[in-house]
Chains A and B, each alone.
Chain A
């Protein structure tokens, strides 16, 4: 069975601090994709990144970086020098398009990040 675990329910930091959001996934499929989404108070999901299971390269996009480690089944997300606008709920998600789950996304429970000025 596929599963995504985000153990951190809430994180509170002060502006300019670095913060890492953890994501651990479970799947027996060898082909899968991992995602991070941001959900601000407005509710609309904002796509941040997609990573396939064959590409373990870490990625950096501005203040955002992602660490994908298949050995520990983790796909962690780090925000450097956090800002108040980063306050949101962040979801990690998994899809195994070639399994019997098809294109269904499996979401983690979400981590609510609060960045205080």
Chain B
């Protein structure tokens, strides 16, 4: 149980285009989802926390107009990187959490984004 999927697993796009990444909880309801970014040789950096049906809360320094997060259902959250640039190339990881177990996050397999 507690499986989280991400799609796509890998994406290459041209500079200036937008990319959408989906995060799904397959066998449980995720009231909260987290989005992380990880650059090579670095730790995971939390970008934002999204609760189902409400606006995402962004961490300091993360541009909310560039990284659009939608959490419209209890099993799906999306991250859209708008007008992507090469510096947005990174590994994006989502995680999901239930309302009753706030000590646990279930991680997706990650999405590698390369912006040319």
Assess the A91–B109 pair: CB atoms within 8 A.
no
Assess the A44–B32 pair: CB atoms within 8 A.
no
Asked if B87 lies at the interface with its beta carbon under 8 angstroms from chain A, I say: no
Say which one of B11-19, B65-73, B97-105 lies at the interface with A. B97-105
Additional 8 contacts, C-beta under 8 A, given A43-B110, A103-B103, A105-B105: A33-B104, A44-B107, A91-B43, A103-B102, A104-B46, A107-B44, A110-B42, A110-B43
Instruction: Give, as a whole number of angstroms, the nearest-CB distance from A91 to chain B.
Output: 7
Assess the B32–A103 pair: CB atoms within 8 A.
yes
Asked if A76 lies at the interface with its beta carbon under 8 angstroms from chain B, I say: no
Question: How many A residues are at the interface, by size bracket?
Answer: 20 to 34
A104 to B57, CA, bound (A): 12
- In this complex, the member of A107, A108, A109 whose beta carbon has the largest number of chain B beta carbons within 10 angstroms is A107
Residues 65-117 (chain A) with a chain B CB within 8 angstroms: 91, 95, 97, 102-105, 107-110, 112
Count of A-B residue pairs with CB < 8 Å: 51
Selected A-B contacts with CB under 8 Å, 21 pairs: A33-B103, A43-B38, A43-B109, A43-B112, A45-B93, A47-B107, A52-B103, A91-B44, A95-B102, A95-B103, A95-B105, A102-B49, A103-B32, A103-B103, A104-B34, A104-B49, A107-B43, A107-B44, A108-B43, A110-B42, A110-B43
B-chain residues with CB within 8 Å of residue A110 when the two chains form the complex: 42-43
Residues of A within 8 A of B (CB): 33, 37, 42-45, 47, 50, 52, 91, 95, 97, 102-105, 107-110, 112
Residues of B within 8 A of A (CB): 32, 34, 38, 41-44, 46, 49, 91, 93, 95, 97, 102-105, 107, 109-110, 112
B-chain residues with CB within 8 Å of residue A109 when the two chains form the complex: 42-43
B-chain residues with CB within 8 Å of residue A95 when the two chains form the complex: 102-103, 105
A108 to B34, CA, bound (A): 17
Assess the B91–A97 pair: CB atoms within 8 A.
no
Instruction: Give, as a whole number of angstroms, the nearest-CB distance from A93 to chain B.
Output: 9
Assess the A44–B109 pair: CB atoms within 8 A.
yes
Which of A45, A50, A52 is close to B107, meaning CB atoms less than 8 Å apart? A45
